[in-house]
């Protein structure tokens, strides 16, 4: 009798190989070791983290939260309290909110709810790679539709691509990596003319002032994701939320979400930060100020073109091969994201908007590399 032990596992592993691995890029600690530097000497500008929220403030909030919680018990009331606070912040009701471990987790949750093997999901191109990953994990087909040359949404192109197997359309607004907001009217038109879920990732919305959150109540099929990783500076704590109409939110939360997904400390710390929006608002204003300076400074460098931004990062094109520029910047202790070609623009890189000393170091290194 042939040996069949582990056959199902081998099949799953073989299929999983095609998923690829999410590339987090070079780490500050790893690069510091290679260059013989301290991690704090590395300029980490590749992941759109928010360095404008004071570290001392965040550590103080965490210390308070740790002192207040009993880690031996599961969180219960804290979920309801955070939903109430988020509802006030987003100007929706608490029953419209689902809390999860980062918006990536909730994007996966919507994929799990809507997609089976053989189904399809649409998105735009270029955009955040997590959507494709979540779709393909479900055994579904991912179909990207290019943006227009001005980075706007090709509404008719998306709707023309819809088939009987299309269950989700993922949109990112403001979009990563193009840094522009999609027209709210276009998004609502998609929701009105598509039977499946229109899922909008608004990770960077607080830096733009553009959002479709207030529209979710009017649609059965519109879901908006928000994250604490960007505007609140809590990338390391992993917290996000989904906003929809109450019926859809309840199904997501009670039927597809695992219990106790967010830690007690994270829940408590997030509530404390929402009570200190003065700190966050100041950080957002600083991002916008430094963003303008960064774009202007990049455009003064010969051969460089920086695009407009409604996020906390800037996409820019260099006159030299993006891979080579990226590698040479690493040699100088500067980490940026190699994006490559974006529509008709070759050799594009993405850099996080950061406080002036970090950006000054980046600009100096970039000029040296390009010279």
Domain ranges across the chain: 8-53+278-370, 65-276
What are the DSSP calls for 242-260, one per residue? EE--HHHHHHIIIIISPTT
Beta strands in the chain (DSSP E): 43-44, 97-100, 120-125, 141-146, 166-172, 197-201, 222-227, 240-243, 305-306, 313-317, 334-335, 337-342, 345-352
**Adjacent-strand bridge partners of 313:** 352
- Give the pairing type, strands 197-201 and 166-172: parallel
Query: pTM of the predicted model, to two decimals?
Result: 0.94
Average pLDDT, the chain: 95
The CATH code belonging to domain 8-53+278-370 is 3.90.1150.10
Which residue bears the tokens 């460089």?
Answer: 304
**pLDDT in the model for residue 1:** 46
Indicate the class that CATH gives domain 65-276. Answer: alpha beta
**pLDDT in the model for residue 133:** 95
**pLDDT in the model for residue 8:** 83
| Average pLDDT over every residue of 298-312 | 98
| Average pLDDT over every residue of 205-231 | 96
pLDDT at 4 over 70: no
pLDDT at 12 over 90: no
């Amino acid at each position: 009798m042939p040996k069949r032990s582990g056959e199902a596992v081998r099949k799953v592993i073989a299929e999983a190989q095609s998923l690829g691995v999410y590339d987090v890029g070079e780490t500050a600690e790893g690069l510091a070791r290679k260059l013989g530097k301290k991690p704090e000497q590395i300029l980490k500008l590749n992941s759109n983290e928010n360095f404008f929220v004071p570290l001392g403030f965040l550590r103080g909030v965490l210390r308070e939260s740790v002192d207040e919680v009993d880690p031996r018990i599961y969180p219960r009331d804290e979920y309801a309290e955070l939903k109430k606070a988020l509802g006030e912040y987003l100007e929706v009701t608490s029953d419209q909110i689902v809390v999860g471990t980062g918006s990536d987790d909730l994007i996966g949750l919507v994929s799990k709810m809507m997609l089976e093997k053989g189904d399809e999901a649409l998105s735009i191109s270029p955009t955040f790679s997590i959507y494709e990953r979540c779709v393909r994990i479900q055994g579904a087909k991912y179909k990207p539709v290019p943006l227009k040359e001005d980075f706007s949404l090709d509404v008719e192109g998306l709707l023309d691509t819809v088939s009987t197997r299309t269950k989700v359309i993922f949109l990112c607004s403001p979009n990563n990596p193009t840094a522009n907001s999609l027209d709210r009217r276009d998004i609502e038109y998609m929701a009105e003319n598509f039977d499946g879920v229109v899922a909008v990732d608004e990770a960077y919305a607080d830096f733009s002032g553009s959002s479709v959150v207030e529209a979710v109540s009017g649609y059965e099929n519109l879901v908006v994701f928000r994250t604490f990783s960007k505007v609140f500076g809590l990338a390391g704590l992993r917290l996000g939320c989904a906003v929809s109409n109450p019926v859809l939110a309840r199904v997501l939360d009670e039927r597809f979400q695992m219990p106790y997904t967010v830690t007690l400390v994270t829940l408590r710390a997030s509530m404390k930060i929402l009570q200190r929006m003065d700190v966050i608002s100041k950080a957002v204003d600083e991002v916008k100020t430094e963003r303008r300076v960064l774009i202007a400074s990049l455009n003064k460098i010969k051969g460089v073109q920086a695009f407009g931004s409604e996020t906390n990062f800037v996409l820019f094109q260099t006159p030299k091969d993006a891979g080579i520029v990226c590698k040479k910047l690493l040699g100088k202790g500067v980490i940026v994201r190699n994006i490559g070609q974006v529509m008709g623009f070759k050799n594009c890189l993405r850099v996080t908007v950061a406080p002036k000393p970090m950006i000054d170091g980046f600009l100096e290194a970039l000029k040296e590399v390009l010279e």
